[in-house]
Structure 1
Amino acid sequence: MKLNHQQAEDAIAQLRAAYAAFNRGDIDSAVRFLDPRIEWIEPAEFPGGGTYLGLEGAKQYLTQSRAGAAQVISEPEQFITSKDRIVVFVHARVLPKGSSTWSEARLADVYTFRDGRATNMRAFAKREDALRWAGVTASSKP
């Protein structure tokens, strides 16, 4: 299924709100747009990497990903729609507890939408891997 223009705009608005909620530490609001049967996949090289199922699984991952940090900022930089998926380029910055040094990475999250809710989230350390997985080709990039 392909998202139409309005569905894509609505999904992007949900994603913006979710990232803002995560940055505030409001995990319940961050997962509000997820399908109750969400499959949340983080790569093995990420702390806590693995597959998390359902809203409770997504909450568990998001909560533990903030646990060792004094501050976390996950800033969406770009949204790319491909069929029923939205690729989000993210600039992630983390200030570990007890440290004055920020770590940062530019990565990508890919959300698959069905009936207005994200049914799958897959994170990628390399943005080009996310684009390839989502089926985005050079000619389909904005």
Structure 2
Amino acid sequence: MGLNTFEADSPAGVVRRQYLASAAGDLAALRATLAPDVEWTEMAGFPLAGTYRTPEGVTSAVMERLDKDWSGWTAHDDTYLVDGENVVVLARYTATHRGTGKPLNVRVAHHFTVRGGRIVRFEQFVDTALVRDAAN
């Protein structure tokens, strides 16, 4: 990635701000990275599977529910692949399920589309069996 990859309004910079806001539990800052018509898709088989719209819809249906069910839910972003408005992030989820006490440590890939300084589309790819096993 180039020197300017993480400039604030670059696609990767917007995505990075989203991860930092999520890790800090700052839902207002996270919503600020999302377009009003965002489409946020959690993978089939994931506990929160589905497509959510609007910044408020995403944070209430995904982030707030993850916090309710999991202790310390964090997406650790480590590798960014950028192609124009497309940003693919290779990451890792870590957490402990509040009901079972089982830990989660699973690799994940996220595909973001960023336009006009906001995330307009998100799609998650994860080994849903590992998530399910930690939750049961």
Q: TM exceeds 0.5? A: yes
Match of 1:93 in 2: 94
Pairing 1:1-142 to 2, within 5 Å after superposition? 9=7, 10-60=10-60, 61-97=62-98, 101-125=102-126
3-state SS in 2 of match to 1:44:
coil
Native 8 Å contact 2:14 2:118 kept in 1: no
Name the residue aligned to 1:130: none
Output the CA distance in 1 between the equivalents of 2:42 and 2:102. 24
In structure 2, relative to structure 1, the CA distance for the partners of 1:7 and 1:90 (3 Å cut) is: closer
> After superposition, what is the alpha-carbon deviation per residue over 1:84-139, rounded to whole angstroms, capped at 9, x for unaligned?
2000111110112266542111011111111121111111126xxxxxxxxxxxxx
Residues 54 and 97 of structure 1: CA distance in aligned 2, closer, same or farther (over 3 Å): same
- Take 2:5 and 2:117, find their aligned partners in 1: how far apart are those partners? 7
- State the number of aligned residues: 123
Q: Distance in 1 between matches of 2:83 and 2:29?
A: 25
| TM-score w.r.t. length of structure 1 | 0.76
- TM-superposed deviation, 1:15: 2.0
Distance 1:69 1:8 in 2: 29
Identity %: 24
Give the RMSD, CA atoms, in angstroms.
2.2
Q: TM-score, normalised by structure 2?
A: 0.79
- Structure 2, unaligned stretches of length 5 or more? 128-136
Contact in 1 for aligned 2:41/2:51 (Cα 8 Å): yes
Structure 1 spans left out of the alignment, 5+ residues = 127-142
Q: Deviations over 1:47-104 (max 9, x none)?
A: 1110101112211222112211121121101000123200011111011226654211
**Bigger relative contact order, structure 1 or 2, given CA contacts below 8 A and separation 6+?**
2
* Contact 1:47–1:65, Cα closer than 8 Å, also in 2: no
The 2-side partners of 1:107 and 1:48 are apart by: 15
